[in-house]
Structure 1
Amino acid sequence: MTQSSKSTVLGVLGGGQLGRMLIQSAINYNQDIHILDPDSNAPCKDLCQKFSVGSLKDFDTVYAFGQACDIITVEIESVNTEALIKLQKEGKKVYPQPEILKLIQDKREQKQFYQENNIPTAEFILTEDKSEVIHNKNFLPAVNKLGKEGYDGRGVQVLKTEADLENAFDAPGLLEKLIDFEKEIAVTVARNEGGDLVVYPAVECAFHPTANLVEFLFAPAEISDEIEEKAKEIAKDVILKLGMVGILAVEMFVTKEGDVLVNEIAPRPHNSGHHTIEANFTSQFEQHLRSVMNWPLGNPDLRCPAAMINLLGEEGFTGLAVVEGQEKALEEKGVYIHLYGKKLTKPFRKMGHVTVLDEDVSKLKAKAMKVKELIKIKSI
């Protein structure tokens, strides 16, 4: 960081809550951030130095945006990679690299990458349409995933019996063997352009039973030292084999036999790392900034055990958002509320999160449950 950070413009494709929290870290370094987002009222709108409205999937829009930036990164994978490839060829730094984004955009290619690189993952079959899924009914129980456009629980169907086959996707996708796992964990790893690499402690995820979104997260994960080390080594292996610069969240299953299997990866700050703002020495958002700017990477260690609760829009409420129970929750020691600036709520929309800290893990879990019941996102 020998030159002034102010002289380098970082462009971010996407202006949602992840971009908002990235900007909150960048402010400490006087780092200029330009944002492109299709929503004129995106959470980043009033926080960045320049905000542009436009499609992240349109070649001309992304290319024009990138020309005014020195380094370009993303807060969502669903972007026009061809424009990023052209910008990269013209001398712009794009992290994560466009070819990696392109691979991750297609779950079929992602799974084949694991297979070709000896990265442990669930057994799978590629399918072109619904008829091929039905043809492979003997592979059930399985998870049917769309190859492209699946996001936040969309594009995923669990097919346990032949009766479920009517729910299969009639589009290119894959059938992935349903894993009878013990735990779902995630490990975040970051790497800068110089090749420096850091790994965060594993966290444990508990998913909402119907929305297929993380409802709770606990750090550290309650796993053995052996499983922890195995998960960290796998996460490092993934980012190194990708050759990726930036921050990478690696979601994994821990099986009842003690194996660790990669489920999916996200080449950006991720929901499984939100607790790091308060709980770790370096948050995932600052680490993302450091990695794409090629600054020295920060200490990823935990300061304190933590829980993270996603604040989702309540079922049955759509419209202008109202937050209930916030003041009561703030009476609890070690509670940190993050609202994302979204004016409109709808069922299961991510509206914010809460991080809870406590040295006593049993007290931590009880406090997290209490906070979850206190704070509700409804509408007028």
Structure 2
Amino acid sequence: MKGEVKLGILGGGQLGRMLMQAGLDFNLYTLVLDPDENAPCKDICNEFYVGSFRDFDTVYEFGKNCDILTIEIEHVNADALEKLEQEGVKVYPDAKTVRTIQDKGLQKEFYQKHNIPTSDFILLKDKEELQQNTSFLPAFQKLRREGYDGRGVTRLASEADLSKAFEEPSVLEKLVDFEKEISVIVARNESGEVTAFPVVELSFHPEHNLVDSLFAPANVPYKLQRHAIEIATRVIEAFDMVGILAVEMFLTKDGQILVNEVAPRPHNSGHHTIKANYTSQYEQHLRAILNLPLGSTEIQSAAVMLNLLGEPGYDGEARYEGLQEALAVPGVYIHLYGKKYTRPARKMGHITVLGQNIEEAQQRAESVKNVIKVKA
């Protein structure tokens, strides 16, 4: 690796912020592009640009100044990424992968083509086509594009729910009778070395359809954990992808593992690795895109991760309650994202709770999970 590498990041939110914290140890010169002038990365990168990462010219001009370009959100201009690749900028993940993952329909077809287990699905052009396929219900309808953190997803149990359905092109996914939702974060460098983090178990917020908490390691039989890691490895190799990939999966009640969807970047299901594993997901992503040997993914400590969401009814400049009380509990670590403004259900930070075993970590997590409040 040469002396000082110019790393460009499309997106200046909390994932970029934590990536840059890991990047300090690699002597990286960081450039960030984000539409929000108050983005969490603003004051900690070397160069910050306000602009749209969806706009071709903006992304292209930004990327020309970088040795390596990466993302912290998928909704970026893939055409600009492709042109930058052609001109010699190293872009990870590459434009082809980003295009596929941006479109949930292409993503499902990709799994089908590569014999990666996933739930049954139908691609829909509009609501009229949905009305012709009501025999497929119960199912989840997902917008093909622009869905994020639970947005663009609706549950359709029967024809009675059609009033909630989306008009736009979408994927109709057969409802899976699952026992658990799990995630595996897998990394691959340019040399083709692949490593996977241990399986984690996810708990989703009942209203907001985003990760509420996770448990590491997952309470899943060893054989099924190995199978989940094998599937995640197959996915990243099928994409021929460099970087880190979060693979969210269903563990069904009859012991099948089905890929739900993936994210080609650091992910909410890997935040705990900063404290709980020998190598964090952020350091691993950097090792991968810099083509360095990948780090050990072994667990040092059992962990529970809790998302800190903006409280209902509060919208404005953020203030935090309960930090002193929470930090008085052994094994509790708080990560605030530097977001100036809160709103209901906005991700404002996370708490990692460590224990000698998962039971101890869960007990500690229970004692602090309702202590910290993000208000305005």
Q: TM-score, normalised by structure 1?
A: 0.98
In the alignment, the residues of structure 1 paired with residue 204 and residue 324 of structure 2 have an alpha-carbon distance, to the nearest angstrom, of 26
Structure 2 gap segments, 5+ residues each: none
The residue that corresponds to 1:71 in the other structure is: 68
In the alignment, the residues of structure 1 paired with residue 359 and residue 65 of structure 2 have an alpha-carbon distance, to the nearest angstrom, of 50
Q: CA deviation at 1:154?
A: 0.3
Q: CA deviation at 1:118?
A: 0.4
In the alignment, the residues of structure 2 paired with residue 360 and residue 329 of structure 1 have an alpha-carbon distance, to the nearest angstrom, of 20
The residue that corresponds to 1:373 in the other structure is: 370
Q: CA deviation at 1:174?
A: 1.0
Once the two structures are superposed, residues 262-286 of structure 1 have per-residue CA deviations (whole angstroms, 9 ceiling, x without a partner) of 0000000000000000000000001
Q: CA deviation at 1:122?
A: 0.2
The residue that corresponds to 1:361 in the other structure is: 358
Q: CA deviation at 1:28?
A: 1.3
In the alignment, the residues of structure 1 paired with residue 64 and residue 113 of structure 2 have an alpha-carbon distance, to the nearest angstrom, of 35
Structure 1 gap segments, 5+ residues each: none
The residue that corresponds to 2:50 in the other structure is: 53
Matching residue within 155, 159, 168 for 2:156 = 159
**Paired residue secondary structure (2:12):** coil
In the alignment, the residues of structure 2 paired with residue 209 and residue 96 of structure 1 have an alpha-carbon distance, to the nearest angstrom, of 32
Q: CA deviation at 1:363?
A: 2.1
Once the two structures are superposed, residues 242-295 of structure 1 have per-residue CA deviations (whole angstroms, 9 ceiling, x without a partner) of 100000000000000000000000000000000000000000001111111111
**Paired residue secondary structure (1:209):** coil
Once the two structures are superposed, residues 205-234 of structure 1 have per-residue CA deviations (whole angstroms, 9 ceiling, x without a partner) of 000000001111000000001110110000
Matching residue within 192, 196, 208 for 2:193 = 196
The residue that corresponds to 2:88 in the other structure is: 91
Matching residue within 202, 210, 215 for 1:205 = 202
The residue that corresponds to 1:29 in the other structure is: 26
Amino acid at match of 2:213: F
Q: CA deviation at 1:360?
A: 2.9
In the alignment, the residues of structure 1 paired with residue 271 and residue 131 of structure 2 have an alpha-carbon distance, to the nearest angstrom, of 39
In the alignment, the residues of structure 2 paired with residue 29 and residue 365 of structure 1 have an alpha-carbon distance, to the nearest angstrom, of 34
In the alignment, the residues of structure 1 paired with residue 327 and residue 135 of structure 2 have an alpha-carbon distance, to the nearest angstrom, of 52
The residue that corresponds to 1:321 in the other structure is: 318
In the alignment, the residues of structure 2 paired with residue 225 and residue 363 of structure 1 have an alpha-carbon distance, to the nearest angstrom, of 21
Which aligned runs of 4 or more in structure 1 are off by greater than 2 angstroms? none
The residue that corresponds to 2:120 in the other structure is: 123
Any conservation in 1 of the 2:23–2:286 contact (CA below 8 Å)? yes
The residue that corresponds to 2:333 in the other structure is: 336
In the alignment, the residues of structure 2 paired with residue 377 and residue 266 of structure 1 have an alpha-carbon distance, to the nearest angstrom, of 27
Amino acid at match of 1:39: D
- Size of the aligned set, in residue pairs, is 376
The residue that corresponds to 1:10 in the other structure is: 7
Amino acid at match of 1:129: D
Matching residue within 267, 270, 287 for 1:270 = 267
Any conservation in 1 of the 2:11–2:32 contact (CA below 8 Å)? yes
The residue that corresponds to 2:38 in the other structure is: 41
Any conservation in 1 of the 2:187–2:288 contact (CA below 8 Å)? yes
In the alignment, the residues of structure 1 paired with residue 235 and residue 286 of structure 2 have an alpha-carbon distance, to the nearest angstrom, of 20
Q: CA deviation at 1:330?
A: 0.3
**Paired residue secondary structure (2:16):** helix
Matching residue within 116, 140, 164 for 1:143 = 140
Amino acid at match of 1:239: I
**Paired residue secondary structure (1:194):** coil
The residue that corresponds to 2:214 in the other structure is: 217
Q: CA deviation at 1:361?
A: 2.1
Q: TM-score, normalised by structure 2?
A: 0.99
Alignment of 1:238-257 (within 5 A): 238-257=235-254
**Paired residue secondary structure (2:201):** strand
RMSD: 0.7
**Paired residue secondary structure (1:374):** coil
Q: CA deviation at 1:320?
A: 1.1
Matching residue within 144, 164, 168 for 1:171 = 168
**Paired residue secondary structure (2:148):** coil
Amino acid at match of 2:192: G
The residue that corresponds to 2:284 in the other structure is: 287
1:109 maps onto 2:103 in alignment: no
Percent sequence identity is 58
The residue that corresponds to 1:348 in the other structure is: 345
Matching residue within 251, 255, 259 for 2:256 = 259
1:307 maps onto 2:304 in alignment: yes
Amino acid at match of 2:31: H
**Paired residue secondary structure (1:56):** coil
In the alignment, the residues of structure 2 paired with residue 321 and residue 10 of structure 1 have an alpha-carbon distance, to the nearest angstrom, of 30
Q: CA deviation at 1:334?
A: 0.6
